[in-house]
Amino acid sequence: SRAFGEKFSAAVQLNYLYTYIGDGYGTSGSVAAELGVIYEAFPGFQIGAHIFNPTRTRVSDLAPDRLPTIFRFGAAYQFSERVLATIETEKDLDKDPVFKAGIEYGITEQLFVRAGLGTHPTTNAFGLGLYLGNLKIDIATSFHHVLGYSPQVSLRYSFQ
């Protein structure tokens, strides 16, 4: 990633995706790229765009299946020191668009509560964030009407 001034940043990422299916089906590996940009239009308001797999990489040389190509466009607005609202639209080339919205509320400088909604299919999410100096812990769950709950945990440490 790289900042181009105080208001614009861009990033490129390469992913190696490895698939293993046992019982004689074999393995496959492929490389997919991601590109993203973010711009601070004015203080507290950011807009961004992201594309995953712009080259339409195949899952394997032996199958016609391709990894999804997904476009995302979103915005975030910091209403106050404690309240952040986000919106996003996501479009997989092979599926209908998905719209998402979320809100984060800082109970204290270290503790955050988050909630979000998504469409097509309808999903909702809830989470907590705890920031302890350089250590950041995020715990969340989302609910999908077919798949049920999907818990998630993130631990991040910044060496600064």
Adjacency order of strands within the sheet including 98-106: 2-3, 8-21, 26-42, 45-52, 70-78, 83-92, 98-106, 111-118, 123-132, 135-144, 148-157
Alpha-carbon separation of residue 9 from 35, 72, 74, 86, 106 (angstroms): 11, 16, 15, 18, 25
Q: Which residues does 42 contact at the CB level (< 8 Å), separation at least 6?
A: none
pLDDT tier, 114 (very low <50, low <70, confident <90, very high otherwise): very high
Query: In angstroms, rounded to a whole number, what is the distance separating the alpha carbons of residues 34 and 73?
Result: 14
Residue 121, pLDDT > 90, answer no
- In tens, the pLDDT along 36-72 reads 999 999 999 999 999 999 999 988 777 788 999 999 9
pTM surpassing 0.85?
Answer: no
Residue 125 one-letter amino acid: A
pLDDT at 27: 85
For residues 31 and 10, is the Cβ–Cβ distance under 8 A? no
pLDDT at 156: 95
- In tens, the pLDDT along 82-94 reads 999 999 999 999 9
